[in-house]
Amino acid sequence: MDEVKQALQAKRKIQIIDVRSKEEYEQGHIPNALNISLQDLKDNISKLDKNFQFVTACGKGGGRSTDGAKLLREFGLNAIWLCGGTNKWLTSIE
Q: Are 54 and 48 in contact (CB under 8 A)?
A: yes
Domains for the chain: give ranges and CATH numbers: 2-91 (3.40.250.10)
Q: Which of 67, 50, 41 is nearest to 15 (CA)?
A: 50
Instruction: Output the pLDDT for position 5.
Output: 77
Residues 8-63: pLDDT tens digits? 777 788 999 999 999 999 999 999 999 999 999 999 999 999 999 999 999 987 79
* Distance between CA atoms of residues 16 and 11, nearest Å: 13
Q: How confident is the model at residue 72 (pLDDT cuts 50, 70, 90)?
A: very high
Model confidence, pTM: 0.89
DSSP string over 72-92: HHHTT-EEEE-TTHHHHHHHS
